[in-house]
Structure 1
């Protein structure tokens, strides 16, 4: 089509169109599109979204419950978590009934509603899935019951807040047990918790969310030596938390694994520590910014 005919054709198309529509048609025919890369234009590039972190600003940061039924690690643990800003409550040499009583009492504490987190450290002899405290080997308290007592349905004042468990269990072999029965104990009933501790409005956070469960098993024979050593796992944990507190907790725990594996490579089977980490954390967790 010649230029004259093309111009007449455009004018006919423009008849009956609004000013804005005519402008669009003219631009379409007059301007040639300029190709621009995504990098140049910025189109479709994701905007920077700051990584979400758990709020860790309350004073204290929360309750740190230490139950040490062996007696080798309480001092270092108490100093570490106090320096991080926790209110440390520590108990030595408890029976199974004593462990249950303390866990129930702490789970019901109204202070949780004002704090940003909770820590539980437990050191004990036990079976593969239970702890004995200072009791003989014939009964135990299931480890999973400890976690349940602080889940959101049993302890609503900790809903959405990180709940950290560090367990050092010195395992007694089944052949040494007189009776392998476990004591089943329910956590505190939700109805017994003051209604003021319940978070307002609907919440979609699952009851098992925001938990870090770090379990270390070692052979009970370590405790039968003339000079019973402190836990390599808990020593590494305390050192990492004191020296590198501004780093994310999960990163520190990965390095803790590496330290423990390095120890295991240099000792006999009976002296080794085996660490399992499970977590349902939904955000980055840094215990202290001090």
Structure 2
């Protein structure tokens, strides 16, 4: 067979095979070589998991909550009051308290019924103290443990704040151990923190842990800073107020990272006695922005 005839023959075979395949499809016969139909991404996107926005704490109440300011040094009350008032908080400030008065104020505020109508709580405490306690204005240097402050607002002791953010900013000017006349913790009249907790703790169906939703920012600095006339205010609190005032849409965790950066920059340029040391502990379960706007 010549080349021309062979080519024509092959073309006829291909045409017949194509018609035979088409005939089988029209007659409903399966075609074993048929590939499954592939759906494009756009056509199937309805079945993909949808993006879930990051959950945030509700911050809509008016006011947003109580902001308790206890300033036993007296240098930062004004700027703190202005900052948290502008954020939408009801500010209650106290100056130059003894340790006993600090405890009484904290307990009184923890029992306030208004918390049930508010979305958050803020406490700012400025005081001289030891490494793990605050002294207030007491010259005996007896201290109240910092851990006990937090316990007064835990979910089982203060149920009206359960599930809501509880934010603490503490500036502690630490007195060296050699300067302490009496380093023992102060015992105050009335039930101890442990007794209050044991009475308040009741079994229930609530699944939120008693220590959840805390933001605990603690800054320590040497007490000698208070003796320098050129450094009347706390660098830590100044940076905090500046950030809260300018960056209201920023989450508190992101804001605190920027605050740390400023403090580290300051520390790199000054002597050890002038440095600030910031510690952050938190048990937040959601994104927290300290503003209702």
Fold shared per TM-score above 0.5: yes
Residue 47 of structure 1: CA displacement? 1.5
What residue in structure 2 maps to residue 145 of structure 1?
A: 148
Judge conservation of contact 1:216–1:273 (CA < 8 Å) in 2: yes
Q: Does 1:189 align with 2:196?
A: yes
Listed as ranges, the matches of 1:154-193 within 5 Å are 154-183=157-186, 185-186=192-193, 189=196
Structure 2: where are the runs of 5+ without partners?
1-16, 18-27
Question: Of 80, 85, 88, which aligns to 2:83?
Answer: 80
For the residue of structure 1 that corresponds to 2:193, the secondary structure is coil
Which residue does 1:102 correspond to in 2?
105
The residue that corresponds to 2:23 in the other structure is none
Q: Is the 8 A contact 2:135 2:143 kept in 1?
A: yes
Q: Distance in 2 between matches of 1:233 and 1:37?
A: 55
- 1:202-241 to 2 correspondences below 5 Å: 202-241=205-244
Distance in 2 (alpha carbons) for counterparts of 1:164 and 1:212 = 5
Describe the superposition over 1:231-289 as per-residue Cα deviations: whole angstroms up to 9, x where unpaired: 00000000100111111111111000001111111111100000001100000011114
Asked if structure 2 preserves the Cα contact closer than 8 Å seen for 1:52 and 1:283, the reply is: yes
8 Å contact 2:88–2:292 — kept in the other structure? no
Given the alignment of the two structures, is residue 267 of structure 1 paired with residue 286 of structure 2, yes or no? no
1:16 matched residue in structure 2: none
Pick from 252, 256, 276 the counterpart of residue 253 of structure 1. Answer: 256
Aligned partners of 1:72 and 1:46: how far apart in 2? 53
Query: Matched residues in 1 for 2:186 and 2:42: separation?
Result: 62
TM-score of the pair, normalised by structure 1:
0.83
CA pair 272-39 structure 1, distance change in 2 beyond 3 A: farther
Does residue 67 (structure 1) correspond to residue 70 (structure 2)? The answer is yes
Pick closer, same or farther for the CA change 1:35–1:189 going to 2, 3 Å: same
Rg larger in structure: 2
Partner secondary structure for residue 71 of structure 1: coil
In structure 2, the residue corresponding to 1:189 is in which secondary structure? helix
Partner of 2:118: 115
State the secondary structure of the residue aligned to 1:274.
Answer: strand
Deviations 1:89-146 (A, max 9, x none): 0000000000000000000000000000000000000000000000024310000000
CA contact (8 A) 2:129 2:135 kept: yes
Distance 2:207 2:242 in 1: 36
Q: Normalised by the size of structure 2, how large is the TM-score?
A: 0.82
Aligned counterpart in structure 1 of residue 130 of structure 2, from 109, 127, 130: 127
What is the deviation of 1:181? 1.1
Over aligned residue pairs, what C-alpha RMSD do you find? 2.7
1:71 offset after TM fit, Å?
A: 0.2
1:243 is aligned to 246
- Displacement after TM superposition at 1:45 (Å): 4.2
Structure 1 Cα separation of the partners of residues 118 and 198 of structure 2: 21
Q: Post-superposition, which runs of at least 4 consecutive aligned residues in structure 1 deviate over 2 A?
A: 26-32, 34-46, 187-193, 225-228
Alignment partners' CA distance in 1, 2:118 and 2:31: 62
